[in-house]
Amino acid sequence: MEMGMGMMKKMMGQGGGSPMAMMQKMMNQHGEGAEGGNPMQQMMGSCMAMCSEMLETMQRTTALAAYAQPELHQLFEEWLAAREDEVLHRIEQAGSQDPDALAGMLSLSSASVTVLLARLQNQGKIHLKAESVRAS
């Protein structure tokens, strides 16, 4: 720990004396980054972009929460159960089904069908099987 503190004091002594001065010195250094710019500024830019994206997601979630009434939850659960029954019925008829084919039959997205399949597996109603995707 002392070695780290000594190194920090030495570097701060060369750059101005305060942590803020050291930060400013680091920000003004022009090293070779991935795109040739200042790597510290690139890192700060990506951190700011991530924070902005998180804030937008939180705002969207908050806006949707206004519509999250108990009766809507109940309606959604009923709709979900009906879709699960439909997926299970199609699988029982055919013996097995491709998720993309199910999505087309049910007019749902592949992502929605994947959620339904995962729920059915968690309930012990089906077994999922994974295959590797071969590049052509």
* pLDDT (tens digit per residue) in 88-109: 999 999 888 889 899 999 999 9
Instruction: Tell me the three state secondary structure of residue 5.
Output: helix
pTM over cut 0.85: no
Res. 26 pLDDT band, cuts 50 70 90: low
Residue type, 98: D
User: Do residues 59 and 48 touch, judged by C-beta distance below 8 A?
Assistant: no
User: Do residues 71 and 62 touch, judged by C-beta distance below 8 A?
Assistant: no
pLDDT, tens digit, for every residue of 39-60? 778 888 888 888 888 888 888 8
| Selected residue with higher pLDDT from 30 and 112 | 112
Between CA 9 and CA 98 the distance in angstroms is 63
At 28 the pLDDT is: 64
Instruction: Tell me the three state secondary structure of residue 17.
Output: coil
- Asked whether residue 136 carries a pLDDT value surpassing 70, the answer given is no
At 65 the pLDDT is: 76
User: Do residues 97 and 90 touch, judged by C-beta distance below 8 A?
Assistant: yes
Q: In the chain, pLDDT over 70 holds for what percent of residues?
A: 71
Instruction: Tell me the three state secondary structure of residue 65.
Output: helix
Between CA 62 and CA 80 the distance in angstroms is 23
Which two structure tokens, joined as six digits, stand for 68? Answer: 């999250």
